[in-house]
A and B are shown apart, each in its own frame.
Chain A
Amino acid sequence: MDVLWDSGESLPANELRDRLLTPAASAANRKPLATTTVLTVLSRLETKGFVVRDRGIRPHRYRAMTTRAEHTAGLMHEVLGSAPDRQDALARFIGNVSPQEAETLRRLLETIPLHRE
């Protein structure tokens, strides 16, 4: 996914494999990655909606469905989200704070001696 996100364009599977191989794998001295493995992963990612396949030309080209930033935004929306049941399932360090509460907290902050640096 990182390679696809970084490239920002659509890639055929074998080129994706080459990019995956270059930096990390040679250093780790691992078994070379087969294009079929990459294809398997890609088709799974396609079913999960992470990548889209361009079937117009052969070999099929793959690109990321949404950008990394969009995924992060979705994740953060889920965490901060407006749907109450979602945010309850993920216990946050600080839940939603109303403006009045935030103001109270700011005043309390000034009373903490350690904070004045």
Chain B
Amino acid sequence: MLTTALALGVLAVLLAWPVPVLLARSAWPAGSPGVALVLWQSIALAGGLAMIGALLVYGLIPFGANPVAGIRSLADHLATGSVPAGTSLDHVLALCGALLLGGHLVLNLAVTFVHAERQQRRHLNLVRLLSEPLEGRPGTRVIDHASPVAYCLPSVTHSATVLSRGLLSLLDPPQVRAVVAHEEAHLAQRHHLVLVAFKSWHSALPWFPIANRAENAVALLVEMLADDQARLAVDDHTLATAIALVGSAGLGRSPEARFSAGAADAAAFVSRDRPVDLVTPRVRRLLTPPPRLTAAASVAVLGSAAALLVLPAVLLAQA
């Protein structure tokens, strides 16, 4: 039991620091964003499981010879309100820690999902009221605003892609098609679920630098995945031009011109520092496509992602 707890602890530490740092620094994810996205998810999930598992297994040592027997015996002892001989304060603290950490992560995930869902529903209602459908594309709505904006609103029943008038006048029709294909890829591949999960991880552990790094890396990978879908519809240069045009649209204009409607908030918007550049890597990647992972390397990465998820369970079973 003690070796299992230690092994899980080591795994948790590895997944909490060196592994994500290495992954965030490596260059191959730009070539195969889908594979990298799977790996990020399995690192996050396995890291959390290993951390909670390590605390749980350590806390259960006085209760039984293996985790299952330990949990049974813990339930019996909770019912009678006693503790077995040899229980020290650190075992109790470890159990409490496991319970708190697990509960915190699960509750935070639920709250973030509910919050995002409510906000999107409210926003979707307003969009329905204020926009009109784009000719020939029922799922695409156009809103009358000068800033070039495009985004998607995922919903269980009525997902929508929203474009602004400013975007339509900035881009030519093939470029608009690229943007719409990009947004529809987000919707079709349910990217918002991954984003919300990582956002909740970050907000649950705000002091944990890796969570921030992971959230940014995942956000960029998701954009690249959607770009790859859009490349099926239009050529790379059209998409790259669309991204660069929208991204640089604010240049040479005063903040007031960018935000005729919300001038008061423009200053806050412009000065808001965003730590990671999520746009220029996408354009560079389209102009000089990075090499994709070979089939063997992809299988190896996916295999290790699966192994990461199984590892905490195997360690627990062998205790």
Contacts and interface: CB of A to CB of B under 8 A. Distances in A.
Interface of A: 1, 68-69, 71-82, 84-86, 88-99, 101-106, 108-109, 111-115
Given A69-B261, A88-B195, A76 B149 contact: yes
A72 B248 contact: no
A86 B119 contact: yes
Contacts of B283: 105, 108
Contacts of B116: 89
Contacts of B272: 82, 84, 96
A71 B149 contact: no
B144 interface: yes
Nearest to B202: A88
A89 B196 contact: yes
B120 interface: yes
Interface stretch (B60-68, B79-87, B123-131, B296-304): B123-131
Contacts of B149: 76, 79-80, 92-93
Contact of A102 (B126, B196, B247): B247
B95 interface: no
Interface residues of B, number: 63
Contact of A71 (B129, B247, B248): B129
Contact of B151 (A93, A108, A111): A93
Given A92-B150, A108-B287, A97 B237 contact: no
Contacts of B151: 79, 90-93
Interface in B164-196: 164, 179, 182-183, 186, 191-192, 195-196
Contacts of B279: 94-95, 97, 101, 105
A72 B182 CA distance: 24
B259 interface: yes
B228 to A, nearest CB: 15
Contacts of A93: 149-151, 179, 182-183, 243, 246
A96 B251 contact: no
Contacts of B130: 68, 71-72, 75
Nearest to B262: A77
Please indicate which of the listed interface residues A86, A88, A99, A114 has the most CB atoms of chain B within 10 Å of its own CB.
Answer: A88
Closest 7 A/B residue pairs (Cβ): A73-B261, A93-B150, A114-B237, A105-B248, A109-B244, A82-B268, A106-B248
Given A82-B269, A114-B237, 12 more contacts: A1-B129, A76-B149, A76-B262, A80-B262, A85-B199, A85-B203, A90-B123, A94-B246, A96-B274, A97-B279, A105-B248, A112-B241
A80 to B, nearest CB: 6
Contacts of A76: 143, 145, 147, 149, 164, 259, 261-262
Given A109-B245, A112-B240, A91 B222 contact: yes
B55 interface: no
A110 to B, nearest CB: 9
Given A73-B261, A93-B182, A108 B244 contact: yes
B280 interface: yes
A112 B127 contact: no
Contacts of A111: 287
Contacts of B135: none
A91 B246 contact: no
Please indicate which of the listed interface residues A74, A94, A105, A109 has the most CB atoms of chain B within 10 Å of its own CB.
Answer: A94
B260 to A, nearest CB: 9
B250 A97 contact: yes
Please indicate which of the listed interface residues B222, B238, B283 has the most CB atoms of chain A within 10 Å of its own CB.
Answer: B283
26 contacts: A69-B261, A73-B262, A75-B123, A75-B130, A76-B145, A76-B147, A76-B149, A79-B162, A80-B262, A82-B269, A85-B199, A85-B203, A90-B120, A90-B123, A90-B153, A91-B195, A93-B150, A95-B279, A99-B250, A101-B277, A102-B248, A103-B248, A105-B279, A111-B287, A112-B244, A115-B241
